[in-house]
A and B are shown apart, each in its own frame.
Chain A
Amino acid sequence: MAPQERSRPTINGILDALATRVGLTLSLVGLALICFLAGVNVERSVKKLDDYQHSYNDRLIRNGFVSLSDIQRLLLSAQEAVEKGEFTAEGEQAFIQASDFLFVRTKHFRRTLLLGEPFAPSEDAVSAMEAMLDVSERAVATGLVNVPGLWDELLATSDDTRRKLVIFLEEMARLQNALMLDQSRAVREQRTVVLASLLGLTFVGIAALLLLRREVLGRQARDRAERDVEFLAYFDKLTELPNRAQFQSRLDKSLTKHEPVALILVDVDDFKTINDTYGHAAGDTVLRHVGKLLSAQVEASDGFAARIGGDEFAIVLPTDDLDELTRKCNRLLQEARKGLSYEGETFHVGLSIGFATSTLLGQDLSPSVDTICRVADFALYSSKSNGRGRFTQYDETLEKRFLERQSMVDDLPHAIAEGELAIYLQPKVYLPNGTPYGFEALVRWKRNGRVVPPDEFIKVAEECGLIYEIDRYVLRSATRLLAEYNHAHQTAYSVSVNLSALHFNSRRIIGWVEEALNTSDLAPGLITLEITETAELRDWQEAQSIMSELRELGTKISIDDFGTGYSSLGYLRSTVVDEVKIDRSIIDRIETCDKARFLLDGVLDMASNLGLVVVVEGVENSAQAKTLDHMGAARAQGFLFGHPVPAEQALGGLPHVAGDAEVGYDRRANERG
């Protein structure tokens, strides 16, 4: 870990600690303490200096100098008289004046002594001055007659006084020096205290600024995060269009206003292929591109475009002008067809579009978000079924189908639960005699007194997810029926059950087949699972793995409708397939079309070489059967040999000796050359 990364949490930790109630209180107390101590220190220094100042001022150093001058003045006036032998009148006045000066000075000196602290050098000096003053006053009082005597006395006392005044002055000089030293020391101390305080306050200031900055940055980050969260909650990050949540809430608002609303649903055709072939980055580019195309269509309108799912988009417009909507859809398709270039590749983006308006909804449908989405989706689905790259407007015909489908979706769960689904069986036979060896189990729905064929409801069941329950039911019922029959009649008829391709996206089917085998006790080899390759069989690898596990249970795998749609010769190479069922479209043309014959011949040949069983579907007349037999086809299925009929009926008319030869031996295996 780098030092910076380590120190950041430390700083954050300190700042966090400072921000607590205790931390804040402690730091405030600390700050107050620093200020208080600095204040106390300054106050103490000032007081100390004041004291010095006072003690110095009290002693009035000036007293010393002026006293010396006064003494000198007195001596000079006396000396003049000594030189002249007597005091002249002027000389006398001068002496008296000088004596007055000394009197006032001495008195003043003495008074300052009394006011201040006792100070020996002052005391000594003042006492000496008083002695000298005494001499001069006595002389003045006696009329200044004895000049020599006065001079002698003055000399003696002045000598002592001057000496003591010098001592006083020296002491004062020493005091002054001490005062200066203390002053500079005090200033230095102050400097230290002030610097320390400034340093402390600087740190506090820096900490406060850091805290402030962190707080501001934190608030900004929070604001940003909140904006991001809001954006993520209501917008799709990739296309920056409103997301499903916003789409639903805005559509709901529009619908509750009871004004016309149009919903255009748009799917990107073959988006999965683009993603799988060119990668997700390419897929994202396509989605962004489509997002822009949609946005362009809602510009300058009150409507909006949204991304409501992986490759699903929507446009909501406050209109029911069908011409305008048609124009918009056409323009969208045109613009999309222009394609976009990505890393040198040009993608042609196909769109499937379905649209509906709130006013197109019939009386049976309430204009809710759910309803309008479902009908627009139904229109979109219609566009897809009709070959994609087109748009479909929801109309009465679609509504009729939609409602029918809707009621099927509503009724199917009930039908499954109540046993309204019936098992029909169609025989699978050996050529050329048409001896049945097994059956294909087919499901019929007895609905309101009508038998609904599978092509009407299997697709619906696949869309709404009920196909799993239906296939499971058929599997269970068909195996039970055949097991019971075989057991009762000592036969070995096989049964084929159709499985939707959807099963092969999940391993659940393995458990269900196992369950059917266990409960029916039918020999696993008598069960063939028929799979039609459709777009839903997305992951062939996974499907293959599931199929091989099913084969390990002993069941057989058959590819249904071979030769149409998605089926390819590639499956013939697959090791997990036991049987291919040739689609009826081939047999329909077998007598008229050479190509069909060649294809069948090729498949038969290849299948034989690969050890695959071939069943030809849709045999309707004996001529076809004959041709097939001639071509070497061994097994067939079709109206010639029997329509799908209710199970009891189909099993009722069986010869009690037949069955699937593969369980015993394949008597036809050697018949083909």
Chain B
Amino acid sequence: MFEGILLKDLLEANGLGDVEAIKVTAENDYQVMIPRSIWQETDVLVATRVDGKPHSRRARGPIQFVIDMEGYKALEVASEDHLVWMVSKIEAAN
């Protein structure tokens, strides 16, 4: 069971509530653009813990973007690329 904060809330809390897209970078330098529609239309969880414990790197932690299966399937624009693991940086895309 993943635990964490909703991407929407995280962005709002950091003053990025109005951005059209964000750029997410992983520890291995993987980068992906996530459009606003994704976190608006479904819940994107920025998971930091699994079953009450810190999210280990070998389990794709410590920060991983998670979308529950139903929401993922319902959203056409969502792809596996958006489920970033080992997230190291979230910034507004320009």
Question: Do A and B form a real pair?
Answer: yes
- List residues of chain A with CB under 8 Å of any chain B CB: 66, 69-70, 73, 97, 100-101, 103-104
| Selected contact of B57 from candidates A66, A69, A104, CB within 8 Å | A104
Q: A101-B86, A104-B85, A104-B86 are in contact. Are A69 and B28 (CB under 8 A)?
A: yes
Interface pair A66/B28, CB less than 8 Å apart = yes
Q: A101-B86, A104-B85, A104-B86 are in contact. Are A73 and B28 (CB under 8 A)?
A: yes
17 extra interface residue pairs, beta carbon distance < 8 Å, beyond A70-B28, A101-B28, A103-B58: A66-B28, A66-B30, A69-B28, A69-B29, A73-B28, A97-B27, A97-B57, A100-B57, A100-B58, A101-B27, A101-B57, A101-B86, A104-B57, A104-B58, A104-B60, A104-B85, A104-B86
Q: How far is the CA of A97 from the CA of B28 in the complex (A)?
A: 10
Residues of B within 8 A of A73 (CB): 28
20 contacts between A and B (CB under 8 A): A66-B28, A66-B30, A69-B28, A69-B29, A70-B28, A73-B28, A97-B27, A97-B57, A100-B57, A100-B58, A101-B27, A101-B28, A101-B57, A101-B86, A103-B58, A104-B57, A104-B58, A104-B60, A104-B85, A104-B86
Output the nearest chain B residue to A105 by Cβ-Cβ distance. B28
Output the nearest chain B residue to A98 by Cβ-Cβ distance. B28
From 55 to 94 in chain B, residues with beta carbon under 8 angstroms from any chain A beta carbon are 57-58, 60, 85-86
Output the nearest chain B residue to A73 by Cβ-Cβ distance. B28
> Across chains A and B, which 4 residue pairs bring their CB atoms closest together, nearest first?
A100-B57, A100-B58, A103-B58, A101-B28
Total contacts A to B, CB within 8 angstroms? 20
From 9 to 37 in chain B, residues with beta carbon under 8 angstroms from any chain A beta carbon are 27-30
What distance in Å separates the Cβ of B47 from its nearest Cβ neighbour in chain A? 15
Residues of A within 8 A of B27 (CB): 97, 101
Residues of A within 8 A of B58 (CB): 100, 103-104
Output the nearest chain B residue to A96 by Cβ-Cβ distance. B57
- List residues of chain B with CB under 8 Å of any chain A CB: 27-30, 57-58, 60, 85-86
Output the nearest chain A residue to B81 by Cβ-Cβ distance. A62
Output the nearest chain B residue to A104 by Cβ-Cβ distance. B60
Residues of B within 8 A of A97 (CB): 27, 57
Output the nearest chain A residue to B56 by Cβ-Cβ distance. A100
What distance in Å separates the Cβ of A102 from its nearest Cβ neighbour in chain B? 10
Residues of A within 8 A of B57 (CB): 97, 100-101, 104
Residues of B within 8 A of A101 (CB): 27-28, 57, 86
Residues of B within 8 A of A103 (CB): 58
Output the nearest chain B residue to A112 by Cβ-Cβ distance. B80
What distance in Å separates the Cβ of B13 from its nearest Cβ neighbour in chain A? 28
Q: How far is the CA of A57 from the CA of B90 in the complex (A)?
A: 26
What distance in Å separates the Cβ of A201 from its nearest Cβ neighbour in chain B? 32
Q: How far is the CA of A286 from the CA of B77 in the complex (A)?
A: 92
What distance in Å separates the Cβ of A86 from its nearest Cβ neighbour in chain B? 23
What distance in Å separates the Cβ of B3 from its nearest Cβ neighbour in chain A? 20
What distance in Å separates the Cβ of A292 from its nearest Cβ neighbour in chain B? 84
Output the nearest chain A residue to B59 by Cβ-Cβ distance. A104
Q: How far is the CA of A103 from the CA of B60 in the complex (A)?
A: 10
Output the nearest chain B residue to A57 by Cβ-Cβ distance. B80
Interface centre among B57, B60, B85 (most CB of A within 10 A): B57
What distance in Å separates the Cβ of B51 from its nearest Cβ neighbour in chain A? 18
What distance in Å separates the Cβ of B86 from its nearest Cβ neighbour in chain A? 7
Q: How far is the CA of A69 from the CA of B28 in the complex (A)?
A: 8
Residues of B within 8 A of A100 (CB): 57-58
Residues of A within 8 A of B60 (CB): 104
Output the nearest chain B residue to A60 by Cβ-Cβ distance. B80
What distance in Å separates the Cβ of B29 from its nearest Cβ neighbour in chain A? 8
Q: How far is the CA of A97 from the CA of B30 in the complex (A)?
A: 15
Residues of B within 8 A of A104 (CB): 57-58, 60, 85-86
Q: How far is the CA of A101 from the CA of B61 in the complex (A)?
A: 10
Residues of A within 8 A of B29 (CB): 69
Q: How far is the CA of A100 from the CA of B27 in the complex (A)?
A: 11
What distance in Å separates the Cβ of A26 from its nearest Cβ neighbour in chain B? 43
Q: How far is the CA of A69 from the CA of B30 in the complex (A)?
A: 10
Q: How far is the CA of A575 from the CA of B12 in the complex (A)?
A: 136
Q: How far is the CA of A101 from the CA of B29 in the complex (A)?
A: 11
What distance in Å separates the Cβ of B1 from its nearest Cβ neighbour in chain A? 20
Q: How far is the CA of A100 from the CA of B28 in the complex (A)?
A: 11
What distance in Å separates the Cβ of A138 from its nearest Cβ neighbour in chain B? 16
Q: How far is the CA of A66 from the CA of B86 in the complex (A)?
A: 14
Output the nearest chain A residue to B79 by Cβ-Cβ distance. A57
Interface centre among B28, B30, B60, B85 (most CB of A within 10 A): B28
Residues of B within 8 A of A70 (CB): 28
Residues of A within 8 A of B28 (CB): 66, 69-70, 73, 101
Q: How far is the CA of A70 from the CA of B28 in the complex (A)?
A: 8
Residues of A within 8 A of B86 (CB): 101, 104
What distance in Å separates the Cβ of A67 from its nearest Cβ neighbour in chain B? 11
Q: How far is the CA of A73 from the CA of B86 in the complex (A)?
A: 15
Q: How far is the CA of A11 from the CA of B22 in the complex (A)?
A: 67
Q: How far is the CA of A103 from the CA of B85 in the complex (A)?
A: 13
Output the nearest chain B residue to A101 by Cβ-Cβ distance. B28
Q: How far is the CA of A66 from the CA of B85 in the complex (A)?
A: 13
What distance in Å separates the Cβ of A68 from its nearest Cβ neighbour in chain B? 11
Residues of A within 8 A of B85 (CB): 104
